[in-house]
Amino acid sequence: MSSLRIKILWRNAIMKKLLKKIVTFTLLFAIVLGYNSSNLVFAKNIVITVQPKNFIGKVGDQFSASVTAEGTGLSYQWQYSKDGGKSWKDSGMASAKTATYSFKIASGDLGINYRCVVRDSSGSSVISESRKLSTGLRITVQPKDFAGKVGDQFSASVTAEGTGLSYQWQYSKDGGKSWKDSGVASAKTATYSFKIASGDMGINYRCVVRDSSGSSVISESRKLSTGLRITVQPKDFAGKVGDQFSASVTAEGTGLSYQWQYSKDGGKSWKDSGVASAKTATYSFKIASGDMGINYRCVVRDSSGSSVISESRKLSTGLRITVQPKDFAGKVGDQFSASVTAEGTGLSYQWQYSKDGGKSWRNSGVASAKTATYSFKIASGDLGINYRCVVRDSFNNTIITNIGTLNEMKNEDWELPIM
C-alpha cells in the first residue's frame, strides 16, 4: 500500500472522529438548550393588570398611587418626572419600593408625573403607564352675564380653588367659535373690569384659570349685552271691525328694533306681521273680521343681537253690557221677565240663579235662559231668588251682569187704591 493511500485513510479516520465529537457536542448543546427553553416557556412573564391612576390633591394631602402586576419574585421602583416625562428619577422615599407609593404632598410635588418599574426574579422589567399629580383645581363660582350700555363699567368675576392660581380672561366676537386673550390690565386677575365701548357690545367672555402645576380649567362663557328690557308691556285691545287697532311697547337698550307678531291659535305658533307699523314700537292697523281674537306680541332686539319678547295680548270685540237687568216684583203665577243688552260679536247668553244670596250660582234650565230676555211663570220656590246673566262673545270673552232680585209682591203693592 502506498504511503499516499495510508495518509488518506488516516486523515479520513481523524475526520470521522472529529465529526462524531461535533455531533455529540451539538446534541448535548441542543439538550441543554432545550432544557433552558423549556424553563423559559414555563416562566411567567410580567404583566401589569392594574395601572396607577392620576391623583388630585393639595399641599399637605396624603398622596397614594398603586400598581398591580403578575409575575415571579416581583420588586418595585417608583419614579417621578418634573419635565413632563422627558426624564425620570427613582424616588428615594420608603414607599417607592412597594406596590403602593405614598407620601405627604409638598409644594414641589404638584405637577409631577409618576410611574412604576416592576422587575421579576429573572431581571425582566416592565414600566407602568405615566400618571400626574395635580392640584384639586376647580371653579367654584362662575362668571355671570352682564347687561350695560356704552360708557358703563363692565365687571365679571370668577372664584376658583387650587394652588398658585393665575388668570387670563378671553373674549370672542364670533359667538364663541374663536377666542383671544384680553389685553386690559384686569384680564390677568380674578375680576375682569373695563369701560364698555361700542365694539364691546355682544362679546362673549370667559376665564382660563391655571395652577402652579400647569393644570388649567376654563370657566363657562358669558355675554356682554345691552341692558335690554321692556319697561311698558302692550295691553289688550277691544274693538270692532273697522276700528283702528293700536298697541305699544316701551323698551330700554341700545339700537333697538321691533317686530310685532300675531297668533291665530292662542299663542301656539307665531308669525311676523307684514303691516308697515309692525317694525315700530307702536303697532297699528284697521281691524278686519279676520283679526278678531288674534294674540299679538313684540320681539325687541338691540344692536348686540340680544332680544326680548313682550307679553302676549289679545284683540277682542268691545264686549260690554249697555243695559243691566232690573229687580222684579211679582207673586206666584205671574210671568217673570228680565233683560240684558250687550255689545260684541257673536254673543251668547246664560242666565243663572242663586238661592243663597249670591254665594253659589246655577245655570237656569228654562228655554229663555239662553236668550237676552229671561222669562218664566213664577213658582213658590222662585220667590226671593237672585239672578244674573253671563254674556259671551265669539272669542270666548265673558262678562257678567249686575245681580237682580225676584221679590214677592205684597197685597198692598198690587191692590188698587180705594177711591
Residue-level pLDDT at 396: 81
One domain, residues 36 and 51: no
d(CA 213, CA 132): 10
Closest CA to 351 of 306, 311, 406, 312: 406
Number of Cβ within a 10 Å radius of residue 336? 19
Domain limit, last residue, from 276, 296, 316: 316
Residues 24, 56, single domain; the answer is no
Q: Which residues pair with 390 in a beta bridge?
A: 350, 400
Report whether 261 contacts 252 (CB < 8 A). no
Alpha-carbon distance 383 to 397, whole Å? 32
pLDDT tens digits for range 4-30: 565 655 566 666 665 565 545 444 444
Side-chain half-sphere of 180: how many Cα atoms within 13 Å?
Answer: 8
Q: What CATH number is given to the structural domain containing 240?
A: 2.60.40.10
196 close to 150: Cβ distance less than 8 angstroms: yes
The model carries a pTM of 0.41
Question: Which residue's C-alpha cell is 340680544?
Answer: 306
Residues of the chain with pLDDT under 50: 23, 25-43, 416-419
For residues 270 and 97, give the distance between their C-alpha atoms in angstroms, rounded to a whole number: 72
- Name the residue range of residue 152's domain: 138-225
Identify whether the C-beta of residue 254 lies closer than 8 Å to the C-beta of residue 201.
Answer: yes
Cα-Cα-Cα-Cα torsion 318, 319, 323, 327, nearest 10 degrees, comes to: -160
Predicted local confidence at residue 80, as pLDDT? 98
55 & 128 share domain: yes
Please report the pLDDT score of residue 33 as a whole number: 41
Beta carbons within 10 angstroms of residue 224's beta carbon: 21
- 164 and 85 together in one domain: no
Q: What's the structural domain count of the chain? A: 5
Are 298 and 375 within one domain? no
The answer to whether position 96 is within a domain reads yes
pLDDT for the residue numbered 111: 85
Q: Please indicate, yes or no, whether residues 57 and 23 belong to a single structural domain of this protein.
A: no
Q: What pLDDT score was predicted for residue 240?
A: 81
Residues 294-341 have pLDDT tens digits of: 999 999 998 878 889 999 999 987 788 999 999 999 999 999 999 999
> Do 189 and 209 fall within a single domain?
yes
Query: Does any domain span residue 2?
Result: no
Regarding whether 409 and 334 lie in a shared domain, the answer is: yes
Model pLDDT, residue 36 = 43
Same domain, 325 and 372: yes
Statement to judge: residues 300 and 352 lie in one domain: no
1 belongs to a structural domain: no
Check residue 122 and report its DSSP letter: T
